[in-house]
Amino acid sequence: MSDTLGALREAPRDRYDVERLLGEGGMALLEERLALLHARLGERDEAIRWVEALRNRRPGRFRLIVTNPEFDGLRGDPRFRAWLRQDGLEALLRR
């Protein structure tokens, strides 16, 4: 535990430091939370950027974002629609 606290006290200098500190699973969770935060704030471009990062890291998590109503504001974005087509997930929105 103290090792973790020590690591957290050292401010990450860039994204790679954060990735190393959190690990891949932790980084995916952070990307999802940041996407949700930006979506809630109506900051579509930033939300899309974080969704894309998450989709690249953990494609299966994108399926959850597609069905999460908190991301409804992103569904009309052409980038989001393209990902739906590429991943064959368009049917999820028709449920």
Whole-model pTM: value is: 0.72
Residue in 38, 24, 95, 25 with CA at minimum distance from that of residue 70: 38
Q: What is the pLDDT along the chain (95 residues), one digit of tens a residue?
A: 445 555 545 555 555 565 665 666 677 888 888 899 999 999 999 999 999 988 998 888 899 899 999 999 999 999 999 999 999 998 887 75
Q: What is the DSSP letter of 4?
A: H
DSSP labels, 48-73: HHHHHHHHHH-HHHHHHHHH-GGGGG
Residues ≥6 apart with Cβ < 8 Å to 63 = 87, 89, 92
